[in-house]
Amino acid sequence: MISANDLSPAELAALLHFHADAGVEWLLEEEAIDRFAEFEAMKAARRPAAAQAQQQHPAAGERPAPGQAPPRPNAATRPAPAERAASGPQPAIPDGEAVQQARFVAETARSLVELKTAIEAFSSCNLKHSARSTIFASGDAESGIMVIGSAPSAEDDREGMPFSGKSGQLFDKMLAAIGLKRSAILLTQVIPWRPPGNRAPSAAEMDICRPFIERQIALAEPKAILLLGNFSARFFFGENDTIHGLRGRWKEIAVADCVIPAIASLHPQDLLTAPVNKRLAWNDLLAFQAKLKSLSLLTN
């Protein structure tokens, strides 16, 4: 094993980035775990079950005596359906059924509070099982202003809120530049759970999560929406162009009975990676500010 002391700062940084991209966030548990003792305990737990099964069933190759019926499992010792279900992983439900469940859950929620509770209890999307947090809308739902990001980052997943870490700090500065702050708008993301390793959500995962974000919009009834990031823009505009081709132009989003003007811009993380694009994002923010003023949602 190579010690961290033998690595240069650049090599160590590259290794940490590799682990982060792969979804590894903690290299050590908070408390030491004796895996050898854990394995021995698992083997000891299996021995009584194996001995009981051998007594109830003939060994492989053995046949019952002539005229003797083969042994049948004892109903008293047969595991109950609930025990059999708990003994192993359950098969995932079909994607189509998961989408129907998501639609039902979303449509029955009559407020953002109810929707948040329903999403936190929803378990038919694989993304939830690998994420720490469920990221839901936060801020002022009465503001008429909504900003929608793409999917939670590793920092968002740890903090339990959208736009955390360095990208969140830049995002706050972007809002302040046009006279806004995150507590005065409704802030959310398309996908409520972080995809492992920050990978792009699959088509099935997007279909499952779509009813949730659309219901958030329908309940909040914003007057204008700012979409941040390539994924968010493609998700709502239904186009496959890059963010550079989708940004800076006002379009309309139809959700339920609402038609809402929306404009796309670069995600703060994109600006951290390529600061040269900050001038493009600034132009988009100015366009968003002008729209808010025309709708009397921003006075300063």
Hey, is 228 helix, strand or coil? strand
133-153 tens-digit pLDDT:
999 999 999 999 999 999 999
Model confidence at 243, in pLDDT bands (50, 70, 90)? very high
Tokens encoding 169: 């700090």
Tell me whether residue 288 is exposed, middle or buried, using C-beta atoms within 10 angstroms of its C-beta: 0 to 12, 13 to 18, 19 or more: buried
* Structure confidence at residue 39 as a pLDDT band (50, 70, 90): low
Torsion angle defined by CA atoms of residues 170, 174, 179 and 182, in that order, rounded to the nearest 10 degrees: -50
The predicted pLDDT at position 89 comes to 41
Which conformational region is residue 122 in: left (phi greater than 0), alpha (psi within -120 to 50 degrees), or beta? Answer: beta
Please tell me whether the overall predicted TM-score, pTM, comes out greater than 0.75 for this model: no
Q: What pLDDT does residue 15 have?
A: 67
Which pLDDT value is given to residue 65?
A: 52
When the pLDDT of each residue in the chain is averaged and rounded to a whole number, the result is 83
- What is the Cα–Cα distance from 185 to 285, expressed in whole angstroms? 14
Residue 63 — pLDDT band, cuts 50, 70, 90? low
Are the C-beta atoms of 246 and 264 separated by less than 8 Å? yes
- What integer is the mean pLDDT of 87-113? 81
User: What whole-number distance in Å separates Cα of residue 126 and Cα of residue 129?
Assistant: 6
Confidence of residue 61 (pLDDT cuts 50, 70, 90): very low
